[in-house]
Amino acid sequence: MPFSSYMAWVLHDPEHGAYGAGRLRIGPGGDFATAPSLGPAFAELLAPQLADWLEGLARAVPTGPLALVEAGPGEGQLALDLAGALAQRWPGLTERLELVLVEPNPGMASRQRQRLAACPLPVRWSSFEQLAERPVRGVVLAHEVLDALAVERFEHHQGHWCRQRVRLAGGGLELLASEPLSPVELEALADLGLAEPGAGRPEGWCSELHSGLGPWMAGCGSALASGWLLVIDYALEAWRYYAPARSAGTLMAYRGQRAQADPLLDPGAWDLTAHLCTDSLERAALGAGWQPLGQCRQGEALLALGLAQALHGLSTADEGLALAERLARREALLRLVDPAALGDFRWLAYGRDLPAERDSQSAPPLFLREPPLS
């Protein structure tokens, strides 16, 4: 079968998939850690950006509900932390706000319901297709979700860009080059700078094509009548993603805080993830009617949202926290901006039918502005 079919099965099959069955655990004691699993600091810094967008919608549309939609909410921790921060600091806004979780995997949704039982906002689970029947106004947050979309693997094989397929072999699985990519796929690769097979890439050089981004961006767009999409994920420009030296792509597997490069090991027991290509994401966004509003690395975004002030506050006893707690929070904040890890995440913002005062020229996102001086 094509690798994309294999990846979708081993991640999302409701009985055997790593996410579909709820097998994977997120957090420092689980299979892999994410920014929200390090504590509430990430949500506290992100909340002002979401509130700024939502308040802009509230002014433009004085009545009616607003929504914070999280796609692929994992354990539900980020949704819970954001709901708490918004309810505490923007109580007037949250009187109109609901939390909508888009989670296709029953195993993960069950854990989310337990964690969000005491959520301070109204919360419901839906799909993009269901939301499209009555599109919402608000913000869609996609934090570490697009990297889990099934990708198509391809390789340079005998002078062609060929699809990689997964097959049974001797009681196990193996990847092998099969038929050349379709004309549509070849056109997509040409747009990314891979018009000619070879060109410094040796026989067997392989990478990923993000064929699922277009349908995802279209589905997300159909669910949102007006508002913003914020994507936070590992991402590379096409010239870096498809560099000749990156001869095995970006696909990795994670389990038990370990990473390994074999995507065929113990199917359904590992998380599989591939970096995003920013060029592919922007083409998918434009094709689905989204307006790109800008991007930056996570370290830059969090500085613009007050990271330095948060660190300064933890350097004194004024926070009313014990020394051990202040040190732990400081360590979590520094991990969020470590350039060798979470700090290299990309924040990419898109808008759809925005209020006139909120276009990219007159009101750039807070996370793209200069950091506050005090």
pLDDT in tens, 300-334: 999 999 988 887 777 775 566 777 777 777 877 77
Same domain? 126 vs 188: no
- 373 within domain boundaries: no
Same domain? 91 vs 174: no
For the chain, the domain total comes to 2
pLDDT of residue 300: 92
pLDDT of residue 106: 87
Sequence length of the chain is: 374
pLDDT of residue 200: 81
Same domain? 160 vs 191: yes
Same domain? 220 vs 304: yes
CATH of the domain at 298: 3.40.50.12710
Same domain? 130 vs 86: yes
pTM above 0.85, yes or no: yes
pLDDT of residue 333: 79
CA distances from 222 to 3, 141, 156 (A): 28, 15, 36
On whether the CB atoms of residues 7 and 209 are closer than 8 A, the answer is no
On whether the CB atoms of residues 152 and 211 are closer than 8 A, the answer is yes
Same domain? 113 vs 259: no
* Regions of the chain where pLDDT drops below 50: none
Same domain? 109 vs 77: yes
- 68 within domain boundaries: yes
pLDDT of residue 358: 59
pLDDT in tens, 115-139: 999 999 999 999 999 999 999 999 9
What is the span of the domain harbouring residue 97? 34-147+211-234+275-368
- 201 within domain boundaries: yes
Same domain? 81 vs 102: yes
Same domain? 307 vs 192: no
pLDDT of residue 357: 67
Query: Phi then psi for 94, rounded to 5 degrees?
Result: -75, -10
Same domain? 73 vs 129: yes
Same domain? 79 vs 217: yes
- 345 within domain boundaries: yes
Same domain? 66 vs 189: no
